[in-house]
């Protein structure tokens, strides 16, 4: 995918929607795009996490304790808790369809947060919201 296309895809993702073109270009430079096949396990609950992932296309199933707890689609992201708090993965995420995901390593993730306070705020708020919702549903 051409760089301008990736910038456009990022602009359509809620956490990046308020970024200007310069900010989108700087984020695009940090991302590594991966194609994954349906059925591929993206994260495993209890494993140590080393990546933050954003779904560009396709869908994934989220499972906790062998129970389906949700589905993720383009624009959704995961892995932020492992990256922010250094904890193990809280869920298993499995590609439901063929997918394209954008991946950030720990160094790139830290750079993204440090250089983009508005994005950092959205990621922190999402992490807190997910923890709250899990607590309310008794999924911890």
pTM exceeds 0.85, yes or no = no
For residue range 21-48, list pLDDT tens digits in order.
888 888 888 889 899 999 999 999 999 9
Higher pLDDT, 139 or 22: 22
The gap between the terminal CA atoms of the chain, to the nearest Å, is: 38
Residue 98, pLDDT score: 98
Residue environment code for 115-138, b if the CB has 16+ CB neighbours within 10 A, otherwise e = ebeebbebbeebeeebeeebeeee
């Amino acid at each position: 995918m051409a760089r301008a296309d990736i910038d456009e895809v990022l602009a359509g993702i809620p956490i990046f929607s308020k970024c200007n073109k310069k900010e989108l270009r700087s984020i695009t430079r940090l991302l590594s795009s991966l194609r994954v096949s349906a059925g591929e396990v993206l994260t495993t609950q209890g494993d140590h996490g080393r990546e933050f992932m954003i779904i560009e296309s396709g869908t994934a199933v989220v499972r906790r304790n062998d129970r389906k707890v949700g589905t993720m689609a383009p624009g959704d992201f995961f892995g932020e808790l492992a990256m922010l708090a250094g904890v193990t993965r809280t869920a298993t995420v499995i590609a439901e369809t063929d997918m394209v995901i954008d991946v950030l390593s720990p160094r790139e993730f830290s750079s993204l947060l440090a250089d983009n306070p508005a994005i950092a705020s959205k990621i922190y708020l999402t992490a807190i919201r997910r923890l709250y919702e899990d607590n309310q549903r008794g999924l911890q």
